[in-house]
Amino acid sequence: MTITVNSPQKSPQKLWRIWRQNNRRQQTLGAIVLGTLFLLGIIVSPWFLGESGLSTVLTQRNQPPSLAHLFGTDWLGRDMLRRSLHGLSLSLRVGLLAASVSALIGTGLGLAAGTFGGWVDAVIIWIVDVFFSLPHLVLLILIAFAVGGGTKGVIIAVALTHWTSLARVIRAEVLQTNSSDYVHLSRHLGKSSLWIARHHMVPHIVPQLLVGLILLFPHAILHEAALSFIGIGLSPHLPAIGIILAESMRHLSTGYWWLGVMPGILLLLAVKAFDWLGENLRSLFDPKTSQG
């Protein structure tokens, strides 16, 4: 009797306990899904918005933020929300491309340094140190200039300067895993180098790579915006976020604060979303934080 009475009471409690046990994992997954949707939303927004709102409407010039124009309008009456979304989408795409190329370079060099060691390692670490010792922005400007500026210049400059920290992380991970007791033991259990690379190294390196790549995005995007802001990045007729911010500088002193503040907040949110995504992915990949 007691069993039949107890069991229906127990099962909701049990479900609640299971829910609570999974809560942290679900929160992590939820954060990843939210962050991805937000960023994807920004990237694809121009295709949904079309060209509407980008044309000049001189009757609606310099309007502060309102329900009709959440980000206000500029000195030509263009809707700033739409301009910002267009600009950020372009900047994100440029940043994604540059960061991905950078991550590829970083992974390749990091793996080579960690695996081959010796003079290969010394040369790669020396290059990394050279990159670290130069002021980042100066290097970006130099490379962007050298390859001819424009969108191509920005992508190449950002891609060539952002791989260093990831290369270091990957190299350290390879060295640490290779010298660990469990890899030595694995050899004595009769496993080949290829097997060890596949089963011992990959589970350590892939999470570092993915998290490193995602945490590279905000850097790449901010530097792309910075280059465009000082006028050697994307060409001025493209609505990139750096161009929008640079234009707003001319109007700040006249009291049109929303021209700079609103796109700035949107850029900040996008960068923060990448950061959030990276941190949550990291905790999902690490067995110590992914359970329970």
Partner 1 sequence: MLKGDNLWFRYGDRLPWVVQNRSLAVAPGEVLGLMAPSGYGKTTLGKLLAGYLPPNKGQVTLAGKPLPKKGYSPVQLIFQNPDLSVNPRWRIRQILQEGYPPKHAYLDALGIHSGWLSRYPHELSGGELQRIAIARVLNPHTRYLIADEMTAMLDANTQALIWQGVLAFVRRQQVGLVVISHDEPLLKRLCDQILVLVDGSSPQPLRHQGQGFHPTTRNAT
Nearer to partner 1 among residue 185 and residue 230 (C-beta): 185
Residue 198 engages partner 1 in binding (rule: CB under 8 A): no
Residues 107-126, one symbol each (x = binds partner 1 by CB under 8 A, - = not), give: --------------------
The nearer residue to partner 1, 8 or 287, going by C-beta atoms, is: 287
Site track for partner 1 across 49-78, x = CB under 8 A: ------------------------------
CB of 28 to partner 1, least distance (A): 16
Question: Given the complex with partner 1, which of 51 and 181 has the nearer CB atom?
Answer: 181
Q: Is 184 in the site for partner 1 (CB under 8 A)?
A: yes
In the set 185, 252, 265, 268, which binds partner 1 (CB under 8 A)? 185
CA dist 34 and 27 (Å) reads 10
How far apart (Å, rounded) are the C-alpha atoms in residues 201 and 173?
A: 8
DSSP readout, 47-86? HHHTTTT-S--GGGTTPPS-SSSTT-B-TT--BHHHHHHH
Pick the binder of partner 1 from 61, 93, 136, 200 (CB under 8 A). Answer: 200
**Residue from the set 121, 191, 251, 279 that interacts with partner 1 by CB under 8 A:** 191
Residue with tokens 């190329």: 101
Count of C-beta atoms within a 10 Å radius of residue 208: 19
190 lies in the site for partner 1, by CB under 8 A: yes
List all residues 6 or more positions away from 75 whose beta carbon is below 8 Å from its beta carbon. Answer: 61, 62, 251, 256
How many other CB atoms are found less than 10 A from the CB of residue 249? 11
Q: What is the DSSP letter of 1?
A: -
Find the part of the chain contacting partner 1 (CB under 8 A) among 130-138, 241-249, 270-278, 283-291.
Answer: 283-291
- Minimum distance from CB of 207 to partner 1 (Å)? 8
* Amino acid letter, residue 201: M
- CA–CA distance, 90 with 101 (Å, rounded to integer): 17
Q: Reduce the DSSP state of residue 126 to 3 states and report it.
A: helix
Binding residues with partner 1: total (CB under 8 A): 16
CB of 66 or CB of 180, closer to partner 1: 180
Per CB under 8 A, does 189 bind partner 1?
yes
Q: Give every CB contact of residue 252 below 8 A, 6+ residues apart in sequence.
A: 259, 260
Q: Which of residues 147 and 183 has its CB atom nearest to partner 1 in the complex? A: 183
Which C-beta is closer to partner 1: that of 56 or that of 193?
193
Helices 80-116 and 150-161: crossing angle, nearest 10°?
Answer: 40
Binding-site string for partner 1 from residue 135 to residue 174, where x marks contact by CB under 8 A and - marks none: ----------------------------------------
25 is an interface residue for partner 1 by CB under 8 A: no
Residue 288 falls in which region: left (phi positive, over 0), alpha (psi -120 to 50) or beta: alpha
Pick the binder of partner 1 from 30, 41, 64, 203 (CB under 8 A).
Answer: 203
Q: Report residue 229 as tokens.
A: 């802001």
Q: How many CB atoms lie within 10 A of CB 30?
A: 12
- Per rule CB under 8 A, is residue 252 in the interface with partner 1? no
Residues in touch with partner 1 (CB under 8 A): 180-182, 184-186, 188-191, 200, 203-204, 287-288, 291
